[in-house]
Amino acid sequence: MTFTLPPLRPEVRWSIRIVALDSDEVLLEHEPDAQLKTASVGKIFLLVEVARRLFDGTLRADARVEIPAEHRVADSGILYRFTDPRVAVADAALLVAAFSDNLATNALIHLCGLERVRAVAGELGLRDTALLDYIRDERAPEHPWTPSYGTARELADVMRRLDRGEIVSRDVSRQVLDWLGSDADTSMLADAFLLDSLAHVGPEYQGMVLRHKTGSIETARIDVGVLRGPRAGVAYAVGANWAVGDKRASTIDTMRELGEQIRRHVTGLARDEEGDA
């Protein structure tokens, strides 16, 4: 099928890239090198570092995380609501992937070291994409300008390389994708896939398997992932930033249009047509 770029509102800056997994054919792109704030998407690089340490033995999966008072945050996630937030390292990573958990993120960055986590993207060969900082309730002038930033070209490539087992090692790539399989935020592109948002680790609606990460702040929405279906597979990265106002409604509508094209491409099925689950 042929992908079509939906109309884009001029007050929203987009970076879009959709790539076929098996052929590397670019199915659709728009400003793929535009550098955007990517909100929580940069947490993927934290998950890469945690997985690497689990497999090289420098971290134990069952070790308990400590959360310094200066890095306690709420908002995104559920760990801040736990009676005992001192969860195991592997469980903290799962919370980051499944609920973009800010408190678990800060605990794991503190455990690994901020400079070490910052270095991950560069070690993967990325020039315009990275995780920069802890999650903070207030971002002061001395703090980095954003927790993470990136381009659709590089983020789509990260997801493609994870799918191929090329990020650090096959074991590390598989572990990161396994965590991302529990991402419960299907509010953006993934809304068009019609998956059970709380249960799609295995093949779900029309035989689709999704591994993705989203980012959301007042002035941005980002969804990056890998979707495989019975007909094809794609890696995608779709990000939107705006300067003023709240453009989430039109932005998410555009993302859902793109998601529907992706769904149709990987399944070959109409939206309500029965497929293998």
Model-level pTM?
0.96
Cβ contacts of 168 within 8 Å, gap of 6 or more: 48, 51, 52
**Per-residue 3-state assignment (H helix, E strand, C coil) for 98-141:** HHCCHHHHHHHHHHHCHHHHHHHHHHCCCCCCEECCCCCCCCCC
Q: State which H helix or E strand residue 52 sits in.
A: helix 43-56
pLDDT of residue 165: 98
pLDDT of residue 157: 98
* Segment 137-194, tens digit of pLDDT: 888 888 988 999 999 999 999 999 999 999 999 999 999 999 999 999 999 999 999 9
Note whether 129 and 118 are within 8 A (CB): no
pLDDT of residue 118: 97
Find the helix packing angle between 114-123 and 102-112, rounded to 10°: 90
Q: State which H helix or E strand residue 223 sits in.
A: strand 220-228
* Segment 75-119, tens digit of pLDDT: 789 999 999 999 999 999 999 999 999 999 999 999 999 999 999
* Segment 4-13, tens digit of pLDDT: 999 999 999 9
> Is residue 263 pLDDT above 70, yes or no?
yes
Q: Encoding tokens for residue 105? A: 């993120």
Q: State which H helix or E strand residue 263 sits in.
A: helix 248-267
pLDDT of residue 168: 98
